[in-house]
Amino acid sequence: MTVRASVDGIDVVVPEGTLIIRAAETLGTFIPRFCDHPLLDPVAACRMCLVEIEGMPKPQASCAVTLTEGMKVRTQMTSQVAEQAQAGVMEFLLINHPLDCPVCDKGGECPLQNQAMTAGRPDSRFGGPKREFPKPLAISTEILLDRERCVSCARCTRFSEQVAGDPFIDLLERGSDQQVGIAHDEPFNSYFSGNTIQICPVGALTSTSYRFRSRPFDLVSVKTTCEHCASGCALRTDYRRDFVMRRLAWEDPAVNEDWNCDKGRFAFTYMRHGRLSAPLVRGSDGVLHEVSWSEAIAFAAKGLSALSPSVAALLGGRLTNEDAYSFAKFTRLVLQSDNIDFRNRPSSGEEADFLAHHVAGTGLVVTYEDLENAPIVLLVSLEPEEESPIIFLRLRKAYRKSGLKVAVIGPLLTRGLRKLGAQLLSTVAGGEAATIDSLLAGDLRGSQSVLTALKKKGAVILVGERAASSAGAYSASIDLANETGAKLAWVPRRAGERGALDAGALAGLLPGGRLMADAAARADVARVWGVEPSDLAVRRGKPQEKILREISEGKIDALITAGLQISDAPDVDTFKQALSEAKFIVSFEQRLSDVSSYAHVILPVASVIEKGGSFTDWEGRVRHFNRALNDSPAVSDSTVLGMLAKEMGAPNTGWRIDEVQYEMAKLLGEGPTGTKKEFKRAGAPTIEAADVKAPPSGSAVLSTWHQLLDLGVMQGPEEHLAGTRRPSQVIISPGRAKQLGVATGDLVTVSTVNGVVTLPVEIDEIHEDSVWLPMNSPGSQVLVTLKAREGATVKVAKA
């Protein structure tokens, strides 16, 4: 339904329910505003957007009135009443606003400053004392508040309450004493707090890390893609003289809308600390020495040539699509090996089969928009707020706006899930498949509405990468999708995983989900690579866990690693063992890592701002970005692989980014040259649900996932951000707490034969047989300390 009305005498036809301020925008008329934000509920508090409406005695707030049939609206462009009303409000807003624009971070990009130019007076009629507050007020370690600059538009408080679901800030006091504030000892530790800085129409909110660092007009802005997780946020990277000053969310309605998370916003300084500037080669003295690029490439090529094809490539999930693709190609073509895996995390053969069958090269199947319009979204082994925060925001939006039903198969309704009004289908880790089976069989208590909703058109199942630790979970998810007709999507945590999968960085898979074993698919890839099908590796390779074992068994001799960390691996000991026994290790690094001490050659590569490329988000949407710092001498992994390939005498096929992207477009069906062909796909995994047995007394089944802000290396030096982390705690059920005789905050130990984690306890309605630990947070590094993965049986005791 549309309505016809007029704005400033110009006819407009807009959908029913369109706000006047939006309708005016379609005509190119910008009505000044402060409190209005298209993604927040109207509040009409600032009164800046007043317009005249024929037949109404008073000017009306155009941000809160919808256009109705025949309505005649006159904005400041044609109405003196509107113009004067706006000028009056602007004058009021400025009386208490400090004249500190020259030192204010917002100066130069400030809606108040800009609109004061159009709606303000040249001089002030106010002669009294201005309102003052002590400043700045640290409302968290990351966010600072200058209350005297605030215009009480309530964008920040509404964002926190409505969008993030974290009402940790609110307006306090009344009248001219009104101010934004936090509760005593309850800082603004929201994962999305940085967005409030960006939507603040004045300089009242600033970040500790950027405050007073730069002026907007000295910055060069580049559109980039976030490298932290698979949500795929478009970012604005602002740099000054080859130095990134800050990052913001770039508006992208299809993906992150106007938002991003604090990790994406603030965790970028890892790029400037401890970077390697020259290649390192381990000398006969056993020590790493800086060498020239030509020496390092020659050394690496010689080592790899000698051991090829007994070589494997481990990629770790952080690479851009282009780099992952180049590794996939280099391994098959130059190393003559299919030993490649992008998953340096708990993974499984079932997962590899699932990905090959259902995910690799399928393009956009489920989108953010699908989540928003779904009748239900069922989450399996996925904690969206911690593992894919933009999915969380979109689910919350749909839950608030259209009552989206969210159901989750997991051990606990976390705070994040409660913000989605989620229904819990409770299970211990490892019981996901069994739960899905009984959901389908209709004998899971209280789940009938979930099953009914899943059968509706548009229903979505999201399965997270942690399903790899739960035998049968991927298989059961496919069954559930097939039985109900719901769409099924896979949500990895890291930004590079989906792209690496599509690029063929997994044993047995060529780019675009083509099977190595399929002669037609091999021929197609070989054609694009300009080689014969027989030039590609033939023997089916191994996944990471087997690769590591085979190194220890002497079956694989050499390794190439890229952006890898031992502490992420599911079995740290085996990893270290393999690294120490490998005959030759070439490591692609931005900074020294825990792999470096084992490596024979370390090749320094570019960070995401020093190269162009793309990431593929969980949807399968390719998120291109341009090189931000053009003067950086750093080179991409692809370029380095090209140098190695040349040195090793490989066929001269493209390794430059434009060549890589051209090839990828051909193979993955993206862009104008893209031709997506259908090849044979892998079959679905059919792993039976594991038997779930109750743990013995004193023990529990471990549930664990990464918190958004944790000990991840890319958050490394950002201590202001680290201050907003959630506290590390162990979660047990009230029954277990009673059994152990512990109260909230008491110390509890969780242990395996390998180690002990001791943390304060939080008592929550978690599955009676479960215990939860943060995966990689201060005091709780599950893989390193307990050497256990999700679903393991662990001992729980009072400390």
Residue among 65 and 495 whose Cβ is closer to other proteins = 65
Residue among 31 and 89 whose Cβ is closer to other proteins = 89
Of the listed pieces 168-176, 315-323, 532-540, 644-652, which binds other proteins according to CB under 8 A?
A: 168-176
**CA separation, residue 343 to residues 214, 233, 347, 383 (Å):** 39, 22, 7, 19
Strand-strand pairing, 60-61 and 50-53: antiparallel
Single residue of 45, 202, 335, 480 touching other proteins by CB under 8 A:
45
Nearest to 280 by CA among 595, 602, 559, 591: 602
Single residue of 33, 47, 318, 600 touching other proteins by CB under 8 A:
47
Per CB under 8 A, 517 contacts other proteins: no
Per CB under 8 A, 445 contacts other proteins: no
Strand-strand pairing, 514-515 and 558-562: unpaired
Nearest to 513 by CA among 728, 669, 291: 669
Single residue of 10, 27, 39, 43 touching other proteins by CB under 8 A:
43
Closest distance between other proteins and the C-beta of residue 144, in Å? 22
Single residue of 21, 46, 433, 599 touching other proteins by CB under 8 A:
46
Closest distance between other proteins and the C-beta of residue 195, in Å? 22
Per CB under 8 A, 95 contacts other proteins: yes
Closest distance between other proteins and the C-beta of residue 363, in Å? 42
Closest distance between other proteins and the C-beta of residue 61, in Å? 8
Beta strand extents in 28-177 (DSSP E only)? 50-53, 60-61, 72-74, 137-138, 143-145, 169-172
Residue count, binding to other proteins (CB under 8 A)? 36
Closest distance between other proteins and the C-beta of residue 187, in Å? 20
Torsion of CA 291, 293, 295, 298, to 10 degrees: 140
Q: Which of residues 311-350 bind other proteins (CB under 8 A)?
A: none
Residue among 45 and 249 whose Cβ is closer to other proteins = 45
Of the listed pieces 22-30, 123-131, 236-244, 717-725, which binds other proteins according to CB under 8 A?
A: 123-131
What's the Rg (C-alpha) of the chain?
28
Closest distance between other proteins and the C-beta of residue 153, in Å? 9
Of the listed pieces 9-17, 88-96, 612-620, 733-741, which binds other proteins according to CB under 8 A?
A: 88-96
Residue among 171 and 635 whose Cβ is closer to other proteins = 171
Q: Which of residues 57-76 bind other proteins (CB under 8 A)?
A: 57-59, 64
CB 509 within 8 A of CB 362: no
Sequence-ordered alpha helix ranges (H) in 96-140: 111-119
Per CB under 8 A, 89 contacts other proteins: yes
Per CB under 8 A, 171 contacts other proteins: yes
Closest distance between other proteins and the C-beta of residue 449, in Å? 19
CB 478 within 8 A of CB 354: yes
CB 228 within 8 A of CB 497: no
Nearest to 191 by CA among 220, 154, 134, 231: 231
Per CB under 8 A, 798 contacts other proteins: no
Sequence-ordered alpha helix ranges (H) in 173-292: 194-199, 262-266
Closest distance between other proteins and the C-beta of residue 65, in Å? 9
- Amino acid present at 501: L
Of the listed pieces 9-17, 84-92, 264-272, 610-618, which binds other proteins according to CB under 8 A?
A: 84-92
Per CB under 8 A, 175 contacts other proteins: yes
Per CB under 8 A, 92 contacts other proteins: yes
Residue among 89 and 796 whose Cβ is closer to other proteins = 89
Per CB under 8 A, 96 contacts other proteins: yes
SS3 614: strand
Non-local (6+) Cβ contacts of 117 within 8 A are none
Torsional class of 128: left (φ above 0), alpha (ψ -120 to 50), beta (otherwise): beta
Per CB under 8 A, 122 contacts other proteins: no
Per CB under 8 A, 42 contacts other proteins: yes
Per CB under 8 A, 134 contacts other proteins: no
Single residue of 11, 122, 123, 173 touching other proteins by CB under 8 A:
173
Report the run of H or E that residue 221 belongs to, with start and end. strand 220-225
Of the listed pieces 85-93, 104-112, 470-478, 594-602, which binds other proteins according to CB under 8 A?
A: 85-93
Beta strand extents in 535-631 (DSSP E only)? 558-562, 584-589, 601-604, 613-616, 622-625
Per CB under 8 A, 170 contacts other proteins: yes
Of the listed pieces 90-98, 295-303, 510-518, 574-582, which binds other proteins according to CB under 8 A?
A: 90-98
User: Angle, to 10 degrees, between the axis of helix 111-119 and the axis of helix 80-95?
Assistant: 130
Residue among 152 and 607 whose Cβ is closer to other proteins = 152
Other beta carbons less than 10 A from residue 14's beta carbon: 18
Of the listed pieces 86-94, 303-311, 577-585, 638-646, which binds other proteins according to CB under 8 A?
A: 86-94
Residue with tokens 């108040």: 112
SS3 328: helix
Per CB under 8 A, 200 contacts other proteins: no
Per CB under 8 A, 690 contacts other proteins: no
SS3 659: helix
Convert residues 2-41 into a mask of x (bound to other proteins by CB under 8 A) and - (unbound): ----------------------------------------
Other beta carbons less than 10 A from residue 197's beta carbon: 23
Closest distance between other proteins and the C-beta of residue 175, in Å? 4
Max distance between CA atoms of the chain, in angstroms, equals 90
3-state DSSP of 340-375: EECCCCCCCHHHHHHHHHHHCCCCCCCCHHHHHHCC
CB 491 within 8 A of CB 465: yes
Other beta carbons less than 10 A from residue 284's beta carbon: 5
CB 261 within 8 A of CB 189: no
Which DSSP state fits 785? I
Per CB under 8 A, 631 contacts other proteins: no
Question: For residue 131, what are its two tokens?
Answer: 């309102």
Per CB under 8 A, 98 contacts other proteins: no
Other beta carbons less than 10 A from residue 186's beta carbon: 11
In the complex, which residues of this chain contact other proteins (CB under 8 A)? 42-48, 50, 57-59, 64, 85, 88-89, 91-93, 95-96, 125-129, 131, 151-152, 170-171, 173-178
